[in-house]
Amino acid sequence: MTTTSPTPDARRSDRLRALAVRLSVVLAVAALVLGTMVWRALDGGPTVAADVGEQLPLRAAAYGRTVTLKVPGGEVAVRVGAPVETLGYGLLEVDRNDPRWDERPDLAAPEDGSLVPASWEPPLAPGGSVEVRLIVGDQRVDLVTIVPGDLSSLRDDPTSVAVGVEGRPGVEDLTVEVEYDGLTQTADVASGEIDAGVAEALYERDRTFSAGCAEAPSSCEFVAADPDSPLRPTWATFVTSDLVLYPYDPALGWADEGTLWGAVRFQPFGVRSAENAAGDTWSPSRRSAPVVTLDGAEPVRREGLEASTRDVAGRVVFAVDTDAEPRELVVEQVLSFTGAGAPQDLPIWSRLPLNEVG
């Protein structure tokens, strides 16, 4: 029996018929989907319109760009979605006792307005109150105020909302503001660009300077301020922490523009006595308040370090130019003596060159 193979024209005709069938199916499905969308648009379906400025909780985080702004003690991540005209009922976290939602309506934007989805993740341990706002053109919406220690607000309040706003803004019109102790940082949602102001140092590597005296036993010690003094202090060692530069201090607030705070802790271990060349010794009866300077500058704040009959520890904070590199700490103190044959006061000091760590 002879078998005849299909001609090229027959094979091409079969492929065209198969393609036509598939195309017909695709067009039919597309027509059905389009028809359904048109029917729903014409039908409208139940909706509840948001008011301008109203915030309605969402079940899940908004889909959009996340901007992360740093604050003392942590960071705040805010995600903002593109403005829309409606949000489906399934996205809403509604009060089921509210009769407005009995028919499971979608959420509609205010008249001639839009809905902007927004979500945030609060810092775990903020050092102070944090205010988060959404800026839409000229409109300002307060999203949340995070108060340290107020766990109820973090537990009960929503962290994802749809905000009703005026007009038809684009993503380029959206800005996030985060305020901490009077300083407001802004983040452009479209570009992700952050204007941090004096908080910029929070986004950079910490600058730390060491005097080599941070660990005990310490080799750092006081010597007589006058090299010709007949007295010498004995066992006059101390430790100092590294000098750390930072933009915000809980007691002082934000540093001025162009400066950072620089803090160091000081812990003396006690001057046992003062001794002369003959080996005679006297125990100090009083120690003056230590004077600590950084490159000749006085601190803007002192904690502890008072005059006393015993050694006292404490902390000092300096204002440091952002472009400067701290070079030297100097610690000075005066020892006083009482009793028969007691010597005059003995000024002592220590000069501590600083080296940047890392």
Contact 134, 94 (CB under 8 A): no
Burial (CB < 10 A; 0-12, 13-18, 19+), residue 73, is middle
Look at residue 153 in the predicted model and tell me its pLDDT. 54
Please, how many CA atoms are within 13 Å of residue 175, restricted to the half-sphere of its CB? 16
Q: What is the DSSP letter of 66?
A: E
Beta-carbon neighbour count of residue 144 at 10 Å?
21
Burial 294-318 (b: 16+ CB within 10 A, else e): beeeebbebeebeeeeeebebbbbb
Residue spans per domain, the chain: 9-42, 48-202, 207-356
Backbone angles phi, psi at 269, to 5 degrees: -105, 10
pTM of the predicted protein model: 0.78
Pairing label, strands 106-108, 47-49: parallel
- For residue 265, what are the contacts with CB-CB under 8 A and spacing of at least 6? 240, 241, 313, 314, 315
Ramachandran sector of residue 262 (left: φ over 0; alpha: ψ -120 to 50; beta: rest): beta
CA 153 – CA 357 distance, rounded (Å): 40
Contact 212, 219 (CB under 8 A): yes
Output the six-digit token pair for 251.
């007691």
CA quadruple 119, 125, 131, 135: dihedral positive or negative? negative
Look at residue 8 in the predicted model and tell me its pLDDT. 44
pLDDT tens series, the chain, 358 aa: 444 445 544 444 454 454 444 434 333 433 333 333 333 333 467 899 999 999 999 998 888 999 999 999 889 999 999 999 999 999 998 888 888 888 899 999 999 999 999 999 877 666 788 999 999 999 999 999 988 766 555 555 668 999 999 999 999 999 999 999 999 999 999 999 999 999 999 999 989 999 998 887 777 889 999 999 999 998 888 889 999 999 999 999 999 999 999 999 998 876 788 889 998 888 889 888 999 999 999 999 999 888 887 778 899 999 999 998 999 999 999 999 988 888 999 999 999 999 999 8
Residue 5: C-alpha distances to residues 1, 13, 312 (Å): 13, 14, 106
